[in-house]
Amino acid sequence: MQNGEETHPPYMFIWGVLAFLMFAKVGVSLLDMPQWMSITFLVLISLVSALLVALYYMHLRFEPRKLWLLAAVPFPLVAILILLVMQDFG
Protein backbone atom coordinates (compact mmCIF):
# COMPACT_ATOMS: atom_id res chain seq x y z
CA MET A 1 0.00 0.00 0.00
CA GLN A 2 1.29 3.47 -0.77
CA ASN A 3 2.55 5.42 2.22
CA GLY A 4 0.38 8.19 3.53
CA GLU A 5 -2.85 6.53 2.49
CA GLU A 6 -5.28 7.03 5.33
CA THR A 7 -8.13 4.71 4.41
CA HIS A 8 -7.89 1.01 5.25
CA PRO A 9 -9.68 -1.79 3.44
CA PRO A 10 -12.46 -3.36 5.53
CA TYR A 11 -10.22 -6.14 6.86
CA MET A 12 -12.75 -7.69 9.26
CA PHE A 13 -15.52 -7.61 6.65
CA ILE A 14 -13.24 -9.39 4.15
CA TRP A 15 -12.41 -11.95 6.86
CA GLY A 16 -16.13 -12.59 7.37
CA VAL A 17 -16.67 -13.02 3.64
CA LEU A 18 -13.68 -15.39 3.36
CA ALA A 19 -14.93 -17.49 6.30
CA PHE A 20 -18.44 -17.61 4.80
CA LEU A 21 -17.08 -18.63 1.38
CA MET A 22 -14.92 -21.34 2.96
CA PHE A 23 -17.86 -22.92 4.79
CA ALA A 24 -20.01 -22.43 1.66
CA LYS A 25 -17.49 -24.53 -0.26
CA VAL A 26 -17.80 -27.35 2.26
CA GLY A 27 -21.60 -27.06 1.98
CA VAL A 28 -21.53 -27.20 -1.83
CA SER A 29 -19.29 -30.29 -1.73
CA LEU A 30 -21.90 -32.05 0.44
CA LEU A 31 -24.86 -31.16 -1.79
CA ASP A 32 -26.27 -33.77 -4.15
CA MET A 33 -25.74 -32.15 -7.55
CA PRO A 34 -24.08 -33.11 -10.84
CA GLN A 35 -20.31 -33.29 -10.48
CA TRP A 36 -19.63 -30.69 -13.19
CA MET A 37 -21.90 -28.23 -11.42
CA SER A 38 -20.31 -28.88 -8.04
CA ILE A 39 -16.78 -28.45 -9.48
CA THR A 40 -17.82 -25.22 -11.24
CA PHE A 41 -19.22 -23.73 -8.01
CA LEU A 42 -16.20 -24.82 -5.97
CA VAL A 43 -13.69 -23.41 -8.45
CA LEU A 44 -15.61 -20.12 -8.73
CA ILE A 45 -15.85 -19.71 -4.94
CA SER A 46 -12.13 -20.48 -4.61
CA LEU A 47 -11.22 -17.92 -7.28
CA VAL A 48 -13.33 -15.24 -5.59
CA SER A 49 -11.70 -16.05 -2.22
CA ALA A 50 -8.19 -15.96 -3.72
CA LEU A 51 -8.99 -12.66 -5.46
CA LEU A 52 -10.22 -11.11 -2.20
CA VAL A 53 -6.99 -12.10 -0.44
CA ALA A 54 -4.83 -10.70 -3.26
CA LEU A 55 -6.79 -7.45 -3.66
CA TYR A 56 -7.40 -6.54 -0.01
CA TYR A 57 -4.95 -8.42 2.21
CA MET A 58 -2.02 -8.22 -0.22
CA HIS A 59 -3.20 -4.67 -1.06
CA LEU A 60 -2.97 -5.25 -4.80
CA ARG A 61 -6.05 -3.06 -5.26
CA PHE A 62 -4.12 -0.08 -3.91
CA GLU A 63 -0.88 -0.72 -5.79
CA PRO A 64 0.25 1.00 -9.01
CA ARG A 65 -1.11 -0.49 -12.22
CA LYS A 66 2.38 -1.55 -13.27
CA LEU A 67 2.49 -3.92 -10.29
CA TRP A 68 -0.83 -5.35 -11.44
CA LEU A 69 0.78 -6.13 -14.78
CA LEU A 70 3.71 -7.78 -13.03
CA ALA A 71 1.34 -9.86 -10.90
CA ALA A 72 -0.49 -10.99 -14.05
CA VAL A 73 2.68 -12.34 -15.72
CA PRO A 74 2.44 -16.00 -14.59
CA PHE A 75 -1.23 -16.48 -15.40
CA PRO A 76 -0.90 -17.02 -19.19
CA LEU A 77 1.75 -19.61 -18.32
CA VAL A 78 -0.60 -21.16 -15.75
CA ALA A 79 -3.32 -21.34 -18.43
CA ILE A 80 -0.92 -23.06 -20.84
CA LEU A 81 0.17 -25.53 -18.21
CA ILE A 82 -3.33 -26.48 -17.05
CA LEU A 83 -5.59 -26.08 -20.08
CA LEU A 84 -3.39 -27.09 -23.01
CA VAL A 85 -1.87 -30.11 -21.32
CA MET A 86 -5.38 -31.24 -20.33
CA GLN A 87 -6.29 -31.40 -24.03
CA ASP A 88 -4.69 -34.86 -23.95
CA PHE A 89 -7.66 -36.00 -21.89
CA GLY A 90 -10.33 -33.99 -23.73
Partner 1 sequence: MSQTAAATVQAPADTTRPEPGVGAYNLKLGMWVFLLSEVMFFTALIGTYIILRFAHPEQFAAPGEVLNVPLTAINTFILICSSVTMVKAFAAIEKDDQKGLQLWLVATILLGSTFVGVQVYEYIHLFADGFVPNAEAYAAAGGPIYSSTFYLMTGFHGLHVSIGVGCLIWVLIQAMRGRYSSQHLGGVEVMGLYWHFVDLVWIVLFTIVYLI
Q: Which residues bind partner 1 (CB under 8 A)?
A: 1-3, 8, 11-12, 14-15, 18-19, 22-23, 25-26, 28-29, 38-39, 42-43, 45-46, 49-50, 53-54, 57-58, 63-64, 66-67, 70-71, 73-75, 77-78, 81-82, 85-86, 88-89
Within 13 Å of residue 2, how many CA atoms lie on the same side as its CB?
10
Give the shortest CB-23-to-partner 1 separation in angstroms: 7
Q: Report how far residue 47's alpha carbon sits from residue 86's, in angstroms, rounded to the nearest whole number.
A: 20
Query: Please, are residues 28 and 45 in contact by the beta-carbon 8 Å criterion?
Result: yes
